Amino acid sequence: MSTTISPLAPKKYPKMPEIEGVRIATAEAGIKYKSRTDLLTMVFDEGTAVAGVFTKSKCPSAPVDFCRQNLGAGKARVLVVNSGNANAFTGRKGRESTALTGEAAAKAAGCTAAEVFLASTGVIGEPPDT
């Protein structure tokens, strides 16, 4: 893995203020590479409203289908974002992995899986490890 920093990367980042009602954490989950931050979780206070815009693709990823299903309730408690595996074109195994992720996030946050939203980016067509 390259450790070269892009010449387009900012020289410094502004100090970001705390966002009330949101807790944010990142981790190295080893989704595709070791020693790389590849997982973001945001936990929202109860009562957080959610809206969404989705792809018009006839072949959406499992996380897109999961989010479409949950959007109708209009409430969000957790957002889980991973990089390294898009979980697209992964069939039954991809849907099962998405459901497991939703259940685990809901349990950790003390909410229902219907209040969980997922986003994945990375390799297409390779089922995620479960």
DSSP letter string, 79-103: EEEEEEE---S-HHHHHHHHHHHHH
Residue 1 has pLDDT above 60, yes or no: no
Q: What is the mean pLDDT of residues 61-81?
A: 96
| Domain annotation covers residue 51 | yes
For residues 49-57, average pLDDT: 93
Q: Is residue 67 part of a domain?
A: yes
Residue 20 has pLDDT above 80, yes or no: yes
Please check whether residue 23 lies inside any domain of the structure. Answer: no
- Cβ-based neighbour number of residue 90 at 10 Å: 22
Q: Does the pLDDT at position 97 exceed 60?
A: yes
Answer yes or no: is 6 within a domain: no
Establish if 118 belongs to a structural domain. yes
Query: For all residues of the chain together, what is the average pLDDT?
Result: 93
On whether residue 130 sits in a domain, the answer given is no
Mean pLDDT is lowest, of 7-16, 80-89, 96-105, for: 7-16
Q: Report pLDDT for 2.
A: 61
User: What CATH number corresponds to the domain at position 54?
Assistant: 3.60.70.12
pLDDT at 113 over 80: yes
Kindly tell me if the per-residue pLDDT of 121 is higher than 70.
Answer: yes
Question: For the chain, how many structural domains are there in total?
Answer: 1
User: Would you say residue 57 has pLDDT above 60?
Assistant: yes
Q: Looking at residue 129, what is its pLDDT?
A: 79
**Segments forming the whole domain that contains residue 48:** 28-123
CB atoms within 10 A of CB 68: 13
